[in-house]
Amino acid sequence: MTMLRLSVVLHNGLERHVTVMKLNKSVRDLSTSGCPMSSDEAKAKPFHAIPGPGGLYQWPFIGSLLNFKPFTKYSPETIPDYFNHLHDKYGPVIRLRLGYPVVVVADPIDIETVFRNEGKYPRRLAFDLLEAYNKRNNLQATLGQLQGPEWHTLRAPVNKRLLKVDSATHYLGQQNQVVEDFVKILETQELSPEQFQDLFFRYASESIAVVLFNKRLGLFDANPDKGSVDFLKAAETALKMIQNSLYGKSVLHKWFRNETYRTFETAHNLIRRVALGHIRQAREVLDTQVKSGLLKEEEPNLLLSLLSERSLTNEQVADIMIALYFAGTDSTAKYSQVFLYNLAKNPDKQNILRREILDVLGPDGPLTSSALSRMVYLKAALKESFRLIFPLPIGNHRVLPVDVVLGGYKIPAGVCVYMFNHRATKTHFENPDQFLPERWLRSEDNTKKDPAHSMIVLPFGHGPRNCIGRRFAVQEIYLAAVKVLQKLQVDVEPESSSAKFVYFPFPQAEKPIRFKFTKIC
Ligand code: HEM
């Protein structure tokens, strides 16, 4: 391993000397380096010298609980505030216990070092509630939960189907229909802020269901199908239980079927039952297509193409789809609202975006892939929204396979490193609290106006383990914003004009936002 000493000029003009490990492939694949220490690594301060809450805070179990109410004023939902407080108090690298020992960094250079050292099979922490469920029910872990070569074996076939340029645009026709139904409700019904939140959850579920299950769930119907509503409610409950178990807040489910676990199990059993039903129906369609020779070799339909892999059973396909549904519903539902909120709060930017939408699509046109490729302001606006209100509670994280040096401290392999993007998104930009999509536009000489460090705004992570559903996520968020703005002016009532966003685990306003929609002439 070679240690490189680099001098880097940061976006804010400061110069910083950094140590970066230069890895070659053979070293990357090792779980520990086994190489002699470089002088810089030897100079690095030891892990235990990293500042952070000490004493009882470092004790197993109890130490994690002490981070939150009633012992501090923070809760898992306000964890970015807690981390900001810790960074203010202790500096750029902090160490604490959140169910396990963690290190938090916020400097883009350190973020880059983490990603450079993540190895061939990047490791994130699995949700241990889901792990307990899989173990007790003799189920294999799936995407998001697996690690190492097993993770790679499952990710590769899904990667090739979800990350192709046209994998999401293939569904634009059906997703345009979903969003039309959604906007019709906004145009015709007075909704309370709570109903509005629920409508967004239905939108995201309906929209991803056409991809994962090849069907509409009927969640916008006046009398929606009970099975679909139960499915939706079960997904909400399961996510709530996962949220309740994060950061070492609940650990007993590992050994006992406590209430959190039982509630999760009931919800997850229902989800599996319903999902398996959808998969069996799709299998029948596939069998008919195979018999009549209609199945294409490079089948663009995700579900049919996964089902046609002989090695995957119905149950395995159902588990992949459930993982995608879990990861892709709450996230997109909540972030679509955040995006609309930023546009509502910035009517001048909303008008610029509406002009682009009307220029490209006209007053009624559907969003197509060629239209999308021309909508540069839309893309800049979403990127800016991600910067201003970062979608993940803490940021990205990795459990590294090798020792690294971050901010002058030695971090042993196996320690979980949180990359606190929230702080970097504020400290490395001019006018950080303003919503300025223009900072992401390219100027005439083809340079971005605000060439921010590329490691700061990473809403979908980075590297081989990044978000596998990101093409679908942005497509659904774009669709919601475009079709709403095409028809309606979006404002927020004064009571919601300075909403505080908390994380469950994706951002939602502490008090549901009171939006106001007015038809544009
Ligand atoms: C606003 C919406 C979304 C955000 C902000 C988001 C963000 C993320 C992030 C940050 C990761 C971890 C990446 C890393 O560690 O480098 C991730 C993983 C993942 N996401 Fe998303 N995501 C969103 C929507 C979706 C959608 C729509 C789907 C599915 C259709 C999805 C499926 C997944 C899966 C399965 C993983 C785990 C991948 C793996 O471990 O290999 N996400 N997401």
Tell me, what's the pLDDT at 28? Answer: 30
Tell me, what's the pLDDT at 37? Answer: 56
Tell me, what's the pLDDT at 34? Answer: 39
Tell me, what's the pLDDT at 297? Answer: 72
Tell me, what's the pLDDT at 57? Answer: 86
ipTM: 0.99
**Residue of 210, 390, 398, 470 best suited for mutating to test ligand 1, as the one with most atoms within 8 Å of CB:** 470
User: How many Å apart are CA 311 and CA 158, to the nearest integer?
Assistant: 13
What number of CA atoms fall less than 13 Å from residue 349's CA on the CB side? 23
Which atom belonging to ligand 1 lies closest to the Cα atom of 398? 15
Ligand 1 touching residue 161 (CB < 6 A): no
Ligand 1 touching residue 469 (CB < 6 A): yes
Ligand-binding annotation for 467, yes or no, is: yes
Q: Among positive and negative, which fits the CA dihedral 202, 207, 212, 217?
A: positive
Tell me, what's the pLDDT at 261? Answer: 94
Tell me, what's the pLDDT at 449? Answer: 65
Question: How far does residue 441's CA lie from ligand 1's centre (Å)?
Answer: 25
- Contact status, residue 336 vs residue 478, Cβ threshold 8 Å: no
Ligand 1 touching residue 324 (CB < 6 A): yes
Ligand 1 touching residue 327 (CB < 6 A): yes
In this structure, the dihedral spanned by the alpha carbons of residues 252, 130, 194 and 206, taken in order and rounded to 10 degrees, is -170
The predicted model scores a pTM of: 0.91
The whole-number mean pLDDT for each consecutive block of 10 residues of the chain, a chain of 521 residues, reads 38 37 33 49 91 89 87 93 96 92 94 96 93 92 91 90 89 97 95 95 96 95 92 93 81 86 96 94 88 78 88 90 93 98 98 98 96 96 97 94 96 96 90 95 71 86 96 98 97 95 94 94 71
Residue nearest to atom 21 of ligand 1 (CA): 467
DSSP symbol at 459 = T
Which atom belonging to ligand 1 lies closest to the Cα atom of 146? 40
User: How many Å apart are CA 51 and CA 76, to the nearest integer?
Assistant: 21
Tell me, what's the pLDDT at 161? Answer: 86
Tell me, what's the pLDDT at 376? Answer: 96
Measured CA distances, 185 to 50, 209, 219, 306 (Å): 53, 19, 12, 34
Residue nearest to atom 31 of ligand 1 (CA): 469
Question: How far does residue 194's CA lie from ligand 1's centre (Å)?
Answer: 25
Residue nearest to atom 38 of ligand 1 (CA): 144
